[in-house]
Amino acid sequence: MLDAKHIRVETAGSKVILRGDVRNYQEREEAERAAWAAPGVFSVDNQLTVKWFDRSQ
């Protein structure tokens, strides 16, 4: 399951840029897969950072 609250998605034409923090590498990869699945996307720049912290606080 992907917690997208801390992810910013920007687009520039057919390019998607992902910025923000995720909890682990699985979330980072899932966010990138979701970006690639969007219609018309030809490039994904994954700038997500893995942050090991408890988001429930």
Percent of the chain residues topping a pLDDT of 90? 77
- 20-35: per-residue pLDDT in tens? 999 999 999 999 999 9
Who's near 46: CB < 8 A, 6+ residues apart? Answer: 18, 28, 31, 32, 35
Beta carbons within 10 angstroms of residue 13's beta carbon: 9
Q: List C-alpha distances in Å: 7 to 4, 56.
A: 5, 16
In whole angstroms, give the CA distance from residue 54 to residue 32: 22
Q: State the pTM of this model.
A: 0.84
Beta strand spans in 1-57 (E): 7-12, 15-22, 43-46, 49-50
Query: At 53, is the pLDDT very low, low, confident or very high (cuts 50, 70, 90)?
Result: low
